[in-house]
Structure 1
């Protein structure tokens, strides 16, 4: 593959400085966030529900080993909630800490001059003006694009997150900031392509092959005895990816890395038993293209003589003045050095998992947690606070004038034990009794109380280093569920319950009097 494969692009110079905005839809309305605030755009991840919080909180997700609160921007802006669709996306924004905001669908990144941004005061909008930076004239029949301020949007219902972020940017990860742009759903006959530059030439991958776009990290592990285009291995979201320079792979001059360089995480989809993703370093990402069949052509045989069938097709845009070469991801596997890098990444993944197990075995500062479930969500409580786990009897003994939060009493080997449904602690609906339910006997200030849970999953041993502060989402949540365990390798987030907070001081007094 040579530089002569595609035509050089000529772009007009803008006299005014450009600002970039990520545009998206909520219903039929278009909004935007400043590009500088958007870290990443992802599909809807698996999430853990968090009780005792606002309805705007969709849950907690695992993002690159960090716990990410995900909020519903519809609810924050006082729109009616709707079911998630294939187009729904999470915009990860940095407000001092990383927060996910769900939108109906993402459109594109636009360049805007300062003169194109108007004051929001003169525009009729159902959105609180304090949440708006301004408006952009969309220049089409869809009207204005309202620019939202991410920090102010989050502050409306989650002030604790912002306050905590001011004190500590524990979740911010500037070394691997990323952005993934996914266009709104295309027509059946239109191809969606992510275009990028390599040595001033324009290439593209099919949108479905590109998982995300990541900034170059500071830490790249070198791989010995491979060709120069294999830059090494990176750790992304708990998985190891080989990092390949497309410039070097295509025989182009390897220049110095700069702020425009990006890593495209591309799925080669060849080896389902192993990781099929690779990080490809490009000079810069341009846009998401919508290309019709009549703008696409076959590749001249001359162009594929250098590296077999690297190029799948040629797109002729702007009346043929702009040529984009569409690459085949799977063709990269023809390079032995790329295959070796995959093997190294797979081996490094296994080594990391083994090392984590070894560290846990050697760590004397371990913690054991009883993991239980409520409404299919996992929670943990220190095994030191749990005296025993027992089955729920067919019938709990009712005692006259017992406090309403106490479901009944049970005789446990001669000891009378008040029983409380754990679901009521988290404002959850009760469920019918089942054989899977268990009673956790917990000691709170020398008083034993039984708490009914939906089921007990396991006793988990882990290092105390794996326990971290949970995002402060509400006063009640922060008090009762202020810690989490993020097992990113297993895609599990376990919220840790503070046993002392299960009963208020008044409830503890009532329980003590009942037993008195």
Structure 2
């Protein structure tokens, strides 16, 4: 008997069923057995990977044994389980249903090579013949993510991975004195914007907003944002517009507002907008001062300037947070909210005593059902997808074409096609994110831009090594356990391979 089989004798095995076949893994290496969790699908990963899941704060790669073994796909049901192995790193494997725990004797075990099987012997430690049944003992070392990936490559004749750029991206184009960068939003069908330097982040509407008595009509209340109270105001109410109930499409723009009446620095105020539109770079020649007649009346006194786009057919009103909230004492609003909560039900939304984590800021976008993040510093602008793009012959399939962006030719990549996702019909939520890749500005079409988010570094960890392409492109994962979200963090400079970058630069 081989050394591997000798050490197998006398050990206990957890057994389970996959497509009518029984398999076993050493009990000592099974951390736990869980129901099928919700998973985040990872592009450029092995086809056998179901996705990655959150297991009590840890990132768990979940692999389908049916796919890994080349068996017929089957829908998950109440009997489906994930067997979690721990060999220094967690790995989960989807099985049809659990069987039992067995303790085979040495004479029951035979070498895997001696018996024909649909499963590659590279994945097996041995075989047990018991009660007219064959139980295949899987090798945990081969079942690890890297081992399973290597096995899958051998089984499929794995094509070499596309060359991915190794160099660091060239620094983003420096903003000139003749250019202004804005974040634009929609409110009641009108377009407004703040200078990007005033915008700290953009977040979704929380499930709980605490009301504040005796406050101005435009103050909605306060929310807790990473251990601090954030006052919320409605731009609709400030400008005398009707304020409907908040919905999923609403976004909260967190802006810096200067100092309160006591001269103390105020970190931020959240302004509720109908929807996020774009991140714009505009020439100062297109920005005009507010007409004197307007600037002397009503809420127009809060306006900074007006931007003329598309030959004047599109006007964007630029707001000034400092003007809008001059003299507002938001610290009083926060204190009032905390007092009311304490008197009401004892749930005081106040800053926690522990120090706030260091954070990184990302632009979060959606593709299919998953959320991705890119560092905010890498995003040059975000624009709408035009009705027509100019197709360029003899370019890669994922190249959608080129557009004229303020007199500059911008190559545009369909990111769904790049990640081998099903095509989607053009719609109003799609955006082009303009990033610097190599030496060329490149646009990437995404399903929607969700928010600008500050992510505590304590929630960011390395992504599982699922494939070489994935490792270079998606090297980290933000596991936001409290929000039940997982963000795949991209390295923008590696969105295109070296050869692909050359093709884009040639355009």
Query: 1:111: Cα distance to partner?
Result: 3.4
Query: 1:135: Cα distance to partner?
Result: 2.9
- In the other structure, the counterpart of 2:332 is none
Query: What whole-Å deviation, never above 9, does each CA across 1:29-86 have from its counterpart, x for those lacking one?
Result: 2111110111111110000001112111110011121111111112222322222222
- In the other structure, the counterpart of 2:26 is 34
What SS does structure 2 have at the residue aligned with 1:482?
strand
Query: 1:131: Cα distance to partner?
Result: 2.6
- Segments of structure 1 that go 5 or more residues without pairing to the other structure are 1-16, 162-346
For 1:95 and 1:498, the matched residues in 2 are separated by 28
Query: 1:439: Cα distance to partner?
Result: 0.7
Q: Residues 354, 42 of structure 1: CA spacing in aligned structure 2 closer, same or farther, 3 A cutoff?
A: farther
Q: Residues 401, 38 of structure 1: CA spacing in aligned structure 2 closer, same or farther, 3 A cutoff?
A: closer
Q: Does 1:443 align with 2:441?
A: no
For 1:29 and 1:402, the matched residues in 2 are separated by 47
- In the other structure, the counterpart of 1:152 is 142
- 1:76/1:153 contact within 8 Å kept: no
- 2:439/2:505 contact within 8 Å kept: no
- In the other structure, the counterpart of 2:483 is 490
Query: What whole-Å deviation, never above 9, does each CA across 1:228-253 have from its counterpart, x for those lacking one?
Result: xxxxxxxxxxxxxxxxxxxxxxxxxx
- 1:107-146, aligned counterparts within 5 Å? 107-139=99-131, 143-146=133-136
- 2:363/2:451 contact within 8 Å kept: yes
Structure 1 counterpart of 2:451, from 458, 461, 475: 458
For 2:53 and 2:349, the matched residues in 1 are separated by 22
For 2:409 and 2:137, the matched residues in 1 are separated by 61
What SS does structure 1 have at the residue aligned with 2:104?
strand
- Segments of structure 2 that go 5 or more residues without pairing to the other structure are 1-8, 153-344
What SS does structure 2 have at the residue aligned with 1:407?
strand
Q: Does 1:80 align with 2:39?
A: no
- 1:19/1:114 contact within 8 Å kept: no
Q: Does 1:467 align with 2:457?
A: no
Q: Does 1:396 align with 2:389?
A: yes
- 1:408/1:419 contact within 8 Å kept: yes
Q: Residues 501, 114 of structure 1: CA spacing in aligned structure 2 closer, same or farther, 3 A cutoff?
A: same
For 1:402 and 1:125, the matched residues in 2 are separated by 44
Tell me how large the CA RMSD over aligned residues is. 2.9
Query: What whole-Å deviation, never above 9, does each CA across 1:89-141 have from its counterpart, x for those lacking one?
Result: 100012331100111100122333444434445444333333322333433x5
For 2:459 and 2:452, the matched residues in 1 are separated by 15
Query: 1:443: Cα distance to partner?
Result: 1.7
- 2:398/2:418 contact within 8 Å kept: no
Q: Does 1:62 align with 2:54?
A: yes
Query: What whole-Å deviation, never above 9, does each CA across 1:222-278 have from its counterpart, x for those lacking one?
Result: xxxxxxxxxxxxxxxxxxxxxxxxxxxxxxxxxxxxxxxxxxxxxxxxxxxxxxxxx
Length, aligned pairs only = 305
For 1:91 and 1:61, the matched residues in 2 are separated by 13
TM-score by length of 1: 0.54
Structure 1 counterpart of 2:45, from 42, 46, 53: 53
Q: Does 1:380 align with 2:373?
A: yes
For 2:96 and 2:395, the matched residues in 1 are separated by 49
- 1:160/1:473 contact within 8 Å kept: no
Structure 1 stretch 94-103 or stretch 439-448: which is displaced more? 439-448
For 1:402 and 1:55, the matched residues in 2 are separated by 26
For 1:387 and 1:90, the matched residues in 2 are separated by 42
Query: 1:436: Cα distance to partner?
Result: 1.0
- In the other structure, the counterpart of 1:416 is 409
For 1:121 and 1:109, the matched residues in 2 are separated by 24
Query: What whole-Å deviation, never above 9, does each CA across 1:295-324 have from its counterpart, x for those lacking one?
Result: xxxxxxxxxxxxxxxxxxxxxxxxxxxxxx
What SS does structure 1 have at the residue aligned with 2:12?
strand
Query: 1:458: Cα distance to partner?
Result: 1.0
- 1:160/1:472 contact within 8 Å kept: no
Structure 1 stretch 430-439 or stretch 419-428: which is displaced more? 419-428
- 1:372/1:378 contact within 8 Å kept: yes
What SS does structure 2 have at the residue aligned with 1:442?
strand
- In the other structure, the counterpart of 1:302 is none
- 2:54/2:60 contact within 8 Å kept: yes
